[in-house]
A = this chain, B = another copy of it.
């Protein structure tokens, strides 16, 4: 039967000044999925490697996203999904989003692309809702579109693809501790000082202007978060030290990836990104907490076909 093998990238959401609206797509970290047309109607998840996740379609983000896609398309075609997880669950770099995005991208490709990648986002969000309790697009949007994405709003969903400055590289450290997205949501106050909100939207505006003009200095000045980082970072052991080390080694900025515990840094040039990776890895060893460090260019296209 016809089959497709996919690379399903990890993603970084929030990016300091863009809480709940900004995301970017990574290129060197991601899952693999194989999706095959089946004679049997509906979705089956036939195999999962690399993680202990349910094969039950209704309990799996890829399964739920795939079902949402099929329902909308109204096809009798069936699909078998194999998932090879490489992004750890709960890492804060879009593990569930990669599965949800991969599933709908693969089904769409095997059906002759009836939907645009932008249209696929809403199906993938159904999968995200299983993982985090709410339909959010800040990881599935960059996973499906690549590059930087802005969620302008949700009513209706409005995702804007932003430009990718050519020399931008991401270094991510994943301290292997468990943080729950729901708990990280709960530490946020429902109200924030207006003056902090103004500072945040000034910075988000500056960062977006920096992306359009490839002004790395402006991006650097804009990568600030007075709202979420102060309340969430204490849950990540060594956060302040990692950030300090990254900045000292030339990173443009550093912050919590998604709701953590991963920490991202943005860097001008691969050389700086690697220097930052080396310095934070060397430094973090002292904590005794297991961790992984990745360096990646920004993936401009999102989920991609490995072979078909």
Binding site for B on A (CB under 8 A): 18-22, 150-153, 158, 160, 162, 188-195, 197-206, 208-209, 212, 218, 221-222, 227
**Which residues does chain B contribute within 8 Å of A202, judged by CB atoms?**
20-21, 150-153
A158 in contact with B206 given A153-B221, A190-B193, A192-B197 (CB within 8 Å): yes
Cα A19 to Cα B204 in complex, Å, equals 13
Across-interface contacts of A209 in B (CB, < 8 A):
150, 160, 162, 208, 212
| A221 in contact with B152 given A202-B21, A209-B160 (CB within 8 Å) | yes
14 contacting pairs across A/B (C-beta < 8 A): A21-B198, A21-B201, A151-B202, A152-B202, A152-B206, A152-B218, A158-B206, A160-B205, A190-B194, A192-B192, A192-B197, A194-B227, A200-B201, A201-B201
Q: Is the CB of B206 within 8 A of A150?
A: yes
* Residues in B neighbouring A221, C-beta threshold 8 A: 152-153, 158
Residues of B within 8 A of A227 (CB): 194, 197
In contact, A20 and B203 (Cβ under 8 angstroms): no
| A20 pairs with B198, CB closer than 8 A | yes
**Smallest CB-CB A-B distances: 3 pairs:** A152-B206, A197-B197, A201-B201
Chain B residues within 8 Å of A197, by CB: 192, 197, 200-201, 227
Whose C-beta in chain B lies nearest to the C-beta of A158?
A: B221
In contact, B206 and A19 (Cβ under 8 angstroms): no
Shortest Cβ distance from residue A156 to the other chain B in the assembled complex, whole angstroms: 9
Q: What residue in chain B is nearest A189 (Cβ atoms)?
A: B194
CA distance A127 to B181 in the complex (A): 48
A128 to chain B, nearest CB (A): 17
- A22 → chain B closest CB, angstroms: 8
